[in-house]
A and B are shown apart, each in its own frame.
Chain A
Amino acid sequence: AQRVTQPEKLLSVFKGAPVELKCNYSYSGSPELFWYVQYSRQRLQLLLRHISRESIKGFTADLNKGETSFHLKKPFAQEEDSAMYYCALSSTGGFKTIFGAGTRLFVKA
């Protein structure tokens, strides 16, 4: 069965500190992984996807098929990174996209 697990509901770090939001998945086929972000009073939006292999707003995420993980990382957190982050999974070329429970990131000054 498809499943996305984000073990931390809340993560609080100081500005300038490294941040890692954890995501593990369960999927029998070839998945496509995404990170979506919801800033205060804004729509949920795509942050990055594993196939693009690019850094967005300083965030990166590497798909580790051996550990079935897709952790989101940023070396130096900024206050504007405070938001709700969702890890998501879909089948390659497929439609159905499922999300984890989300992690709320607070970056303190």
Chain B
Amino acid sequence: DAGVIQSPRHEVTEMGQEVTLRCKPISGHNSLFWYRQTMMRGLELLIYFNNNVPIDDSGMPEDRFSAKMPNASFSTLKIQPSEPRDSAVYFCASQAAGSGELFFGEGSRLTVL
């Protein structure tokens, strides 16, 4: 298993543009998490899904952020419109039922100019 796969690995865009980050969880895992990593705030939980259903999106910063999980093998995190303060590394992680352990992707480094 290749583990959690995220794309793109790096994204540079201009303020106001739409950004879509993608994640493929480990097959068989039923929970998926999106985190944002910054120097100042560390790892912040944005949203998580269980069995493709969003359970808690209280960490989503504002309406510019949205996330979907149309099926068990794919999730997206969208930012529209993007702003320079959104620059960060975005991590996706998946978890098997009852496991507790998170398996992380390599992250998507977003730079908004």
A38 to chain B, nearest CB (A): 9
Residues from chain B with Cβ under 8 Å of A43 in the complex? 3, 104-107
A86 pairs with B98, CB closer than 8 A: no
Contact B42 A49 (CB under 8 A): no
Is A95 in contact with B95, judged by CB distance below 8 angstroms? Answer: yes
What's the dominant secondary structure at chain A's contact region? strand
User: Which interface class (under 10, 10 to 19, 20 to 34, 35 or more) fits B?
Assistant: 20 to 34
Known: A46-B101, A49-B101, A90-B100. A96 touches B42 (CB 8 A): no
The stretch among A14-22, A61-69, A73-81, A99-107 that forms the contact with chain B is: A99-107
Query: Which of B41, B44, B45: most chain A Cβ within 10 A?
Result: B45
28 contacts between A and B (CB under 8 A): A32-B100, A43-B104, A43-B107, A44-B93, A45-B104, A46-B101, A46-B102, A49-B100, A49-B101, A86-B42, A86-B43, A95-B31, A95-B48, A96-B45, A97-B33, A97-B45, A97-B100, A97-B102, A98-B45, A99-B35, A99-B42, A99-B45, A100-B42, A100-B43, A101-B41, A101-B42, A102-B42, A102-B43
